[in-house]
Chains A and B, each alone.
Chain A
Amino acid sequence: MADLMGNDLTRQSASTLADAISQGEVSAEEVTKAHLERIADVDPRVHAFLYVDSDDALAAARGVDAKRARGDQLGALAGVPLALKDVLTMKGVPTTCGSKILEGWRPPYDSHVVERLRANDIVILGKTNMDEFAMGSSTEHSAYGPTRNPWDLERIPGGSGGGSSAALAAFEAPLAIGTDTGGSIRQPAAVTGTVGVKPTYGGVSRYGLVALASSLDQAGPCARNVLDTALLHAAIAGHDPRDSTSINAAVPDVVGAALNGDVRGMRIGLVRELSGAGYQAGVELRFREAVELLEGLGAEVIEVSCPHFEYALGAYYLILPSEASSNLARFDGMRYGLRAGDDGSHSVEEVMAITREAGFGPEVKRRIMLGTYALSSGYYDAYYGQAQKVRTLITRDFDAAFAQVDVLISPTAPTTAFKIGEKVDDPIAMYLNDVATIPVNLAGNAAMSLPIGLAPEDGLPVGLQIIAPPMADDRLYRVGSAVESALVDTWGHLLIEEAPAL
């Protein structure tokens, strides 16, 4: 283990920091302070954080140091700082979901993910920016202003979890939590040169995750390398009886897989429908190179067809708004958050409508309207009902593909990071960012995005998406680790090291 003294603590991996803390080379408090200083330094430009919880973070860090001093056994990530997406509740700490409607609300309870983080002595630095209620692919739909991509501050960091991905890429935190409903962990990872995993649906409890679309949402780990991601995955995954959809089975050995990056003999499927038209040239180039790399590492890559994927986007943009329109009904100004128009002259019905009009941004309203329409009587069968059937067909496509191969691969996103403002008024163009990630959410599979290089035309990161069958999350790490170490061997460092200084 390298001596960290004198090195920039914010440039280290989570596992390195955890080792150094447990060895006593640095204190958790020093590590947390270094990251808080980095945030103070760069976040005015990046705007990854909506709330920095310095006092609690330092107290938690000192708690870890005290444990170590007592000789207590420390967890694999004890004392490592983390950035938490603002869609997960944390007792007493503002949780806004990027929305004005929850401004100032401090939840009276911890989400399951936060409980797990605390139990693992991970230090939560604060809450990260996101598209309002996770609706978006650019973080431009945050009510608190956009987050900027550390690779180019004029560009988006992906979304909805752009705050978490930017925090990693800006070296404000070595670990982050994201949530992924249609790609909100993977696409931000792809466009910021970081790693993100959407676990199998039900792999991480949704208790305390403010729901966007309940049947699609999944919280997951984000980091700058595959092993750190696996360590965080292991820390937050597992059965929770408070989430009825939580899977009651052992968590796949993701850490073991990350330490054993060997793809020899693996069969890897290249999804024909997730390439071609609409994919940027540099994205396709790096993806083809990644395929060659995997073949060179001993994997067998074959092309597979998932014919119903072309309907995934349509089904998704009916299912998501439908569930969201219901999930977001509770934001009515009666029990928590914003209340507008309560001047004594308005009825409760009017105050609810005024509050929701004032508290929600345009994308949220658009999707609530869409979902309300899709569920309304007379349209249910044609829209919601039909979308659920498409979901069955997509799941069958995956089943057929996984009968032939161990994992599937595709580019994570069709393009590299686009410019802030470029697509914000064009919902369809924005929705197309998620075309490659959405099928996974519809079927409940596990998937990872990891960086595979920069697109030559713009010098921006490109992500590789790896998809595994449900509860085979370990395969993501096995493949991801193999690709990552081969690329590090080639480049001499992780891609993220090439990000410009801020």
Chain B
Amino acid sequence: MSAITRADVEHLGRLARLNLTPEEIDNFAGQLDVILTSVARISEVAADDIPPTSHPIPVENVYREDVVRPGLLRADVAAGAPAWEDDRFRVPRILGEA
């Protein structure tokens, strides 16, 4: 478990779409390091034979019937949109394709 560098924080900021300030990058580098050091103890336990738990209550096979139900009114969704044009959400220009 390595120390968190400024470069790591900048990379994480890009992945998480956070336009961090230089000051934040410094702060987070230190803080994340402290937090990660303190949580690193979990590697002391839990050997390979322990199954991971992703759901606290073991339930399986929850499905819905393939039936159409009414959704939202377009006007209600449009009312909350930061920008709206031609019945669609307007978003700034996209540089890269997904």
Our verdict on whether A and B bind, yes or no, reads: yes
Q: Does A106 contact B (CB under 8 A)?
A: yes
Q: Which residues of B contact A332 (CB under 8 A)?
A: 17
Across the interface, do A354 and B43 meet the contact criterion of CB distance under 8 Å? Answer: no
Q: Does A314 contact B (CB under 8 A)?
A: yes
Q: Given A241-B64, A352-B17, A376-B15, A215 and B54 touching (CB < 8 A)?
A: yes
- How far apart sit A348 and B95, CA to CA, in the bound complex (Å)? 7
Q: Which residues of B contact A314 (CB under 8 A)?
A: 38-42
- How far apart sit A348 and B38, CA to CA, in the bound complex (Å)? 37
- How far apart sit A346 and B93, CA to CA, in the bound complex (Å)? 8
Q: Which residues of A contact B17 (CB under 8 A)?
A: 329, 332, 349, 352-353, 356
Q: Which of B36, B40, B56, B80 contacts A215 (CB 8 A)?
A: B56
Measured CB to CB, the nearest residue on chain B to A338 is B82
Q: Interface digits, B30-52 against A, CB 8 Å rule (1 contact, 0 not)?
A: 01101110111111111000111
- How far apart sit A315 and B89, CA to CA, in the bound complex (Å)? 39
Q: Which residues of A contact B31 (CB under 8 A)?
A: 366, 427
Taking CB atoms and an 8 Å cut-off, the chain A residues in 11-68 that contact chain B are: none
Measured CB to CB, the nearest residue on chain B to A107 is B80
Q: Given A334-B89, A391-B52, A373 and B82 touching (CB < 8 A)?
A: no
Q: Given A201-B57, A395-B56, A348 and B19 touching (CB < 8 A)?
A: no
Which of A279-287, A382-390, A416-424 interfaces with chain B? A382-390
Interface hub of B9, B14, B43, B83 (most chain A Cβ within 10 A): B43
Across the interface, do B89 and A335 meet the contact criterion of CB distance under 8 Å? Answer: yes
- How far apart sit A335 and B42, CA to CA, in the bound complex (Å)? 38
- How far apart sit A329 and B21, CA to CA, in the bound complex (Å)? 19
Q: Which of A202, A333, A357, A387 contacts B57 (CB 8 A)?
A: A202
Q: Given A389-B52, A393-B45, A393-B50, A349 and B96 touching (CB < 8 A)?
A: yes
B interface, size bucket: 35 or more
Across the interface, do A311 and B45 meet the contact criterion of CB distance under 8 Å? Answer: yes
Across the interface, do B20 and A357 meet the contact criterion of CB distance under 8 Å? Answer: yes
Q: Does B3 contact A (CB under 8 A)?
A: no
Q: Does A404 contact B (CB under 8 A)?
A: no
Q: Does B68 contact A (CB under 8 A)?
A: no
Q: Which of A202, A308, A348, A360 contacts B91 (CB 8 A)?
A: A348
- How far apart sit A404 and B90, CA to CA, in the bound complex (Å)? 60
Measured CB to CB, the nearest residue on chain A to B24 is A365
Measured CB to CB, the nearest residue on chain B to A443 is B56
Across the interface, do A442 and B56 meet the contact criterion of CB distance under 8 Å? Answer: yes
Q: Does A368 contact B (CB under 8 A)?
A: yes
Closest beta carbon of chain B to A309's beta carbon, Å: 11
Q: Given A353-B18, A382-B1, A428-B35, A366 and B28 touching (CB < 8 A)?
A: yes
Across the interface, do A373 and B12 meet the contact criterion of CB distance under 8 Å? Answer: yes
- How far apart sit A366 and B27, CA to CA, in the bound complex (Å)? 9
Q: Interface digits, A172-192 against B, CB 8 Å rule (1 contact, 0 not)?
A: 000000000000000000000
Q: Which residues of B contact A315 (CB under 8 A)?
A: 39, 42
Across the interface, do B59 and A317 meet the contact criterion of CB distance under 8 Å? Answer: no
Q: Which residues of B contact A373 (CB under 8 A)?
A: 4, 8, 12, 32, 36
Q: Which residues of B contact A317 (CB under 8 A)?
A: 35, 39
Taking CB atoms and an 8 Å cut-off, the chain A residues in 320-379 that contact chain B are: 325, 329, 332-339, 342, 344, 346-354, 356-357, 360, 362, 365-366, 368-370, 372-373, 376
Q: Interface digits, A244-287 against B, CB 8 Å rule (1 contact, 0 not)?
A: 11010000000000000000000000000000000000000000
- How far apart sit A354 and B13, CA to CA, in the bound complex (Å)? 11
Q: Which of A344, A351, A369 contacts B13 (CB 8 A)?
A: A369
Q: Does B73 contact A (CB under 8 A)?
A: yes
Q: Which of A108, A313, A388 contacts B53 (CB 8 A)?
A: A388
Q: Which of B50, B62, B80 contacts A336 (CB 8 A)?
A: B80
Closest beta carbon of chain A to B40's beta carbon, Å: 7
Q: Given A241-B64, A335-B80, A391 and B53 touching (CB < 8 A)?
A: yes
Q: Given A369-B16, A370-B35, A427-B35, A390 and B80 touching (CB < 8 A)?
A: no
Q: Which residues of A contact B28 (CB under 8 A)?
A: 365-366, 369
**Interface residues in chain B, defined as those with a beta carbon under 8 Å from any beta carbon in chain A:** 1, 4, 8-9, 12-21, 24, 27-28, 31-32, 34-36, 38-46, 50-57, 59, 62, 64, 72-73, 76-77, 79-83, 89, 91-96
Q: A348-B94, A353-B13, A382-B43 are in contact. List 19 more A-B contacts (CB 8 A).
A: A216-B56, A245-B59, A247-B57, A308-B45, A332-B17, A333-B82, A342-B92, A353-B17, A353-B18, A362-B24, A365-B20, A369-B16, A369-B28, A389-B50, A389-B51, A389-B52, A390-B46, A391-B53, A470-B57
